[in-house]
Amino acid sequence: VVPAEPGLADITTKIDGFVEALYVDATGVTVRRGQPLLTLYSPMLVAGQEELLAALRLAAAVDSADREAWRNARALLDAARRRLAYWDISADQIERLERTGEVTKTLALKAPVDGVVLEKMVVAGQAVMPGMKLYRIADLRTVWIEGAVFEQDLALIRLGAPVRAELAAYPGRPVNGRVSFVWPTVDEQSRSARVRVAFPNPGGLLKPGMYATLFF
């Protein structure tokens, strides 16, 4: 049993900083979409906000009759807004910054999906860099079971076909899924091909790492 790849999400940062508060501090924790995972203090974030406020003041001070100066001021303001947006600062947060003039010192990273934390590679106080993977989250409401089918049986396998799986962890409790993919190659040594079967898993009965026998 493995997590379905479309349900996997890696949490990374696009900005340098330091982990100020860690709200999800262990693997195996269930999280909801939009739930804060950690807050990041970033001098770059502070500087970017101050640049936006300075550009906003400049745009307000420029005489609109001077068209070139006004265009330059607006271009500077738009560039400052885009820079924050590239760091995943929401439009609402940018609007609030411009309205209040209050600089936010931390950025909250939130879970993009409902799921379970499979990996946590970050601790409180750690310095982080752009692109660094901090968490891996998996939505386990659908899982895959990948099995091997002998070459002579491949003609019997078709996409969408119903499949029954029996797991050692749950004797006498088969689960049902459907073939979602058949690998386009055959292993030369074992003379078998891999088959992927998708199973609904609303109660979390099927856990990654379990072994199962598939019946087509």
Beta bridge partners of 36: 110
pLDDT of residue 179: 96
pLDDT of residue 112: 92
pLDDT of residue 63: 77
pLDDT of residue 156: 87
pLDDT of residue 7: 94
Measure the CA–CA gap between 11 and 26, rounded to whole angstroms. 14
End-to-end CA, the chain: 17
Are 81 and 94 in contact, with CB atoms under 8 Å apart? yes
Residues 57-104: tens digit of each pLDDT:
998 888 777 888 888 999 999 999 999 999 888 888 899 999 999 999
pLDDT of residue 2: 95
Alpha carbon 204 to its chain centroid, in Å, reads 20
Measure the CA–CA gap between 100 and 141, rounded to whole angstroms. 42
Question: Residue 131: what are its φ and ψ, rounded to 5°?
Answer: 90, -10
Q: Which helix (H) or strand (E) holds 59?
A: helix 43-61
- Taking 70 as the pLDDT cut, the residues of the chain under it are none
Alpha carbon 53 to its chain centroid, in Å, reads 31
Distances in Å between the Cα of 19 and the Cα atoms of 52, 82, 125, 203 are 24, 24, 5, 33
Q: Which helix (H) or strand (E) holds 162?
A: strand 162-167
pLDDT of residue 18: 96
pLDDT of residue 57: 92
How many CA atoms within 13 Å lie on the side-chain side of 134?
31
Measure the CA–CA gap between 212 and 210, rounded to whole angstroms. 7
